[in-house]
Structure 1
Amino acid sequence: MPYYENVSWKLLLIKDRTSKVLVDEIRKEVENKQIEESIRREFLSNISHDLKTPINVIYSAMQVEKIYVEKQDFDILKKYNDISKQNCISLIKLTNNLIDNSKINSHYLTPRLENMNIVEVIEDNVMSLVEYVKLNNIDLIFDTNTEECYLDIDREFMYRIILNLVSNAVKFTKDGGQICVVVNESDDKVNISVKDNGIGIDEEFIYEAFNRYSIGGNCNPDRKSGTGIGLFVVKQLIELQGGKIEIKRNNNLGTTVSIEFRKGI
């Protein structure tokens, strides 16, 4: 019989973990699917609400207007016309966001860049929204440190950007509040900021604000929370024009969204 002296033996155990890894992957995939389905249901619910509510308001206003046309009460007619206009703007914003979101998914969204005075473009957009904001008992102010600054931008993109940012500011601003849109030009860049003195957004939401379907939980309870695609679309529209965007909660009160475009790009 052989004799083994001073020989050490090692035992190697091999365990097949393939089945456990596969189970973990399947479980993770199912959990992700459940999360996606929950987000999808909430998104569709919000869209249904955002479509149905303005349409019902506009239809109701039209019915009431018939009465005041017969009475020739033009002050009341103007009031209901303003209400209809406000809800039409909401529908335009929602429609644009849905179309842009679809184009982004298919990589079909491209800007039509033209060399334009950014100050004039922003001012025109802001002025078109003054009455809309005023109907929410909020003041909308435009300010600039320059009268002319030319950049290669897409005018329609800029309208959608300002419409989304001002509408979002309205959600976080109480009655009697103020929203300021400011254009600041420096040597090498242009900054466009939308600042409100409202209740501010959640600190945690800042880190996911530009994600698709993200909805902040700190909105004014009197206003709709939205679909969660507005800021996502805004970020895409800005980046397609060579700009960048950031959002922050102000130290004292409200929120500031800043857009930056470099000159000569």
Structure 2
Amino acid sequence: ERRFSDRLLSRLDQVGTLLALVLEKARFLELLEAEEERLKALLEHSQGVVYVLDGEGLIRYVSPSVGPVLGYDPEGYKSAPLRALDFVHPEDRALAEALFYELLSHPGEVLTGEFRVLHADGTAIPVEAWGRNLLADPRVQGVVVDLHDLRPRLEAERLKGEFIAAVSHELRTPLAVIMGLAELLREEGLSPSAQESIDLILESAFRLKTMVDNLLDTSRLEAGRFEVSRRPVNLRPLLQDLARSFQGVARLSGVEFRVEVAELPVMEADPDRLVQVVGNLLSNAFKFTPPGGQVCLRARQEGDRVLLEVEDTGPGIPKEELPKLFQRYARAKNAQTRGVSGTGLGLFISKHIVEAHGGQIEVESEEGKGSLFRVILPVYGPHPSG
């Protein structure tokens, strides 16, 4: 009887364990179903179009948003496997295909790209694609691609560009008048106090003009309309004129300004753009150099290259900030702590101008010891300057 009871207890224990497993599985399925419902709700209300593709690029799932965004019936994807690339604009299919194969070779990584897809009515829609290879994830077993319509962003950028261009035009004309009249007054032999006032007017007007130019150029870069107009140019007199325009800034700042511009070759370049680059570098140097410090402008030829350098004895730039210094809107931390104004666009624009000339821009800096910015330009014109 006792042996029977032991067997019964053992059987009951097994039944209990089995019931626990069944209940655990039921709970798991309940949680899984709830998770699927949450995911379904997210996908149904997504502003983008979400695709799940297999390893061959066939569409296994598409979110309901494909209807309002691209004009396709979501049910139409269920009848037969459709190839995702067939919905990409023919001119962009190679780009989209390259992104897909890159996703296949980088499991788990999030990759992005931009191309055009076809609306049901045949129009091309620019989209940004975010993709992730989750083929190895048993919960997904697919490549997830999220498409976002770029038209609202592109329209906003177009309107912003038009606004900046209009404002820049309205500001440039009075600024040119102010700077021209101030230059004429400077030659009138005024008293030292009046001369200081003229210097302040010119320095403020130049700073505002630089900001306007940088904003306008950034807008042009974003719109793909940034250009340089090369022609034979002698940089030496242009740099000397630019240096003279900064003499007033040097006096106001209490900073020694040294100019060492050697004989330079005639080269193929956009003179206005290169003056803009050096002007940006000098403006930054004077902003950061304390009274009693020094700013130096140098220019020389080395073989088939022209080197333009601006060096200062300012606070220097932290090493960790150097890699991002030429990014858009990048500003050094000491600019904020020292209350130095600026948009963070000058170096960004300067880098693009220099690279458009086939050159490069470098920086050497150490905290507490100042900074040296060097522009290296190729010489296209073989003639020496006089």
TM-score over 0.5 for the pair:
yes
Q: Which amino acid aligns with 2:243?
A: V
Deviation at 1:264, TM superposition (A): 2.7
**2:133 matches 1:16:** no
Equivalent residues of 2:362, 2:374 under 8 A apart: yes
Taking the aligned partners of 1:239 and 1:253, their CA distance within structure 2 comes to 28
Aligned position for 1:4: none
CA–CA distance in structure 2, aligned partners of residues 221 and 130 of structure 1: 26
Gaps of 5+ in 1: 1-12, 27-50, 59-72
Q: Distance in 1 between matches of 2:229 and 2:306?
A: 20
- Counterpart residue identity of residue 224, structure 1: V
3-state SS of 2:316 partner = coil
Q: Distance in 1 between matches of 2:137 and 2:326?
A: 47
Q: Quick one: which amino acid aligns to residue 150 of structure 1? A: V
Shift, 1:74, TM fit: 4.6
Larger displacement relative to structure 2 (92-101 or 237-246): 237-246
Partner of 2:52: none
Name the larger-Rg structure: 2
Q: Quick check: 1:212 aligned with 2:335? A: no
Give the whole-Å Cα distance in 1 for the aligned partners of 2:223 and 2:297: 32
* Amino acid in the other structure paired with 2:364: K
Equivalent residue for 1:174?
290
Which one of the candidate residues 69, 80, 98 is aligned to 2:197?
A: 80
Q: Which amino acid aligns with 1:140?
A: F
Cα distance in structure 2, aligned partners of 1:86 and 1:100 = 21
Deviation at 1:221?
5.0
Q: Which of 208, 218, 224 pairs up with 1:101?
A: 218
Question: Can you list the C-alpha shifts for 1:67-126, whole angstroms capped at 9, x where unaligned?
Answer: xxxxxx954333323222211111011001011111111111111111111222222212
Find runs of 4+ consecutive structure 1 residues off by over 6 angstroms: none
**2:311 is the alignment partner of 1:188:** no
Task: Determine if the alignment matches structure 1 residue 256 to structure 2 residue 372.
Answer: yes
Higher mean C-alpha deviation, range 103-112 or range 113-122? 113-122
Return the letter of the residue paired with 2:303.
Answer: D
CA–CA distance in structure 2, aligned partners of residues 224 and 130 of structure 1: 20
2:281 maps to which residue?
165
Partner of 2:119: none
| CA 1:193–1:220: 2 relative to 1, 3 Å | farther
Tell me what 2:51 maps to: none
Name 1:127's counterpart in structure 2: 244
Residue 76 to residue 16, structure 1, CA distance change in 2 (3 Å): same
Alignment of 1:37-116 (within 5 A): 74-116=191-233
Q: Please say if residues 210 and 232 of structure 1, whose CA atoms lie closer than 8 Å, have aligned partners that are also in contact.
A: yes
Structure with bigger RCO (C-alpha 8 Å, 6+ apart)? 1
Aligned residue for 2:150? none
Aligned to 2:43: none
3-state SS in 1 of match to 2:240: helix
Query: Counterpart in 1 of 2:113?
Result: none
The reply on whether 1:229 has 2:229 as its aligned counterpart is: no
What code does the residue aligned with 1:215 have? Answer: R
Unaligned runs of 5+ in 2: 1-135, 148-170, 179-189, 382-386
Q: Percent identity?
A: 26
User: Hey, what does 2:257 align to over in structure 1?
Assistant: 140
Name the CA distance, whole Å, in 2 between partners of 1:120 and 1:74: 28
Paired position in structure 1 for 2:362: 246
Q: TM-score, normalised by structure 2?
A: 0.49
- Change beyond 3 A, Cα 1:119–1:79: closer
Write the distance in 1 (CA, Å) between the matches of 2:236 and 2:192. 34
Deviations along 1:200-251, whole A, 9 cap, x unmatched?
A: 0121111000000111012385552411111101111111122110112158
The answer as to whether partners of 1:126 and 1:162 remain within 8 angstroms in 2 is no
Q: Distance in 2 between matches of 1:216 and 1:153?
A: 30
Number of residue pairs aligned between Structure 1 and Structure 2? 207
| CA RMSD in angstroms, aligned pairs only | 3.0
3-state SS of 1:207 partner: helix
Deviation at 1:18, TM superposition (A): 6.8
Equivalent position of 1:154 in the other structure: 270
